Amino acid sequence: MTDATQSSGGLTPEVIDVFARGLYHLANVDGIDAREERLIQEFLEETGSDLTLEALKGSAFSPVEAAMVLETSHIRRVFVKAAVAMVRADGVYSDAERHAIGELADAFDMSNAEFGDIEQEAARVSLD
């Protein structure tokens, strides 16, 4: 198993790619907002990724792929928490967004209680 924190940015390029595509996909569920785009751009810059928002627009994302790449429960929790906090950045946590993130939690074998705890933690995160 590969350590998800090998690169200088703290995450491997493969993990950064799945995070970025996943965040973009989830932000776009109900129409991507400028605040969500800004947060994804900041993530790309902070991790030193060569990915661009333009490249993410045409990319595919699968919760099953994310489960294969994000192998540890810790990195999965970090991703779900970041996703919930990001989709809330526009002030709306729509049913469609919650459903899409719920599918991800299912792919990660998270219990409803664990997912609920992560949602509550993410609700307390300020991304502004």
| pLDDT, averaged across the chain | 88
Would you say residue 7 has pLDDT above 90? no
| Residue ranges covered by each domain of the chain | 13-123
Q: Which fold has domain 13-123?
A: TerB-like (1.10.3680)
Please spell the DSSP secondary structure of 22-74, one letter per residue.
HHHHHHGGG---HHHHHHHHHHHHHHT----HHHHHT----HHHHHHHS-SHH
Cα distance between residue 99 and residue 120, in whole Å = 16
pLDDT at 3: 45
Question: Model pTM?
Answer: 0.85
- Provide the terminal-to-terminal Cα distance of the chain, rounded to the nearest Å: 35
Long-range CB pairs of 105-114, under 8 A, 24+ apart, other chains included: 105/80, 106/63, 107/63, 107/64, 107/66, 107/67, 108/63, 108/66, 108/67, 108/70, 108/73, 108/76, 108/80, 109/67, 110/76, 110/80, 114/77
Q: Which residue has the higher pLDDT, 67 or 126?
A: 67
Q: Which residue has the higher pLDDT, 21 or 125?
A: 21
% of the chain beyond a pLDDT of 90:
70
CA distances from 73 to 54, 108, 113 (A): 30, 8, 15
The number of angstroms, rounded, from the C-alpha of 30 to the middle of its chain's C-alpha atoms is 15
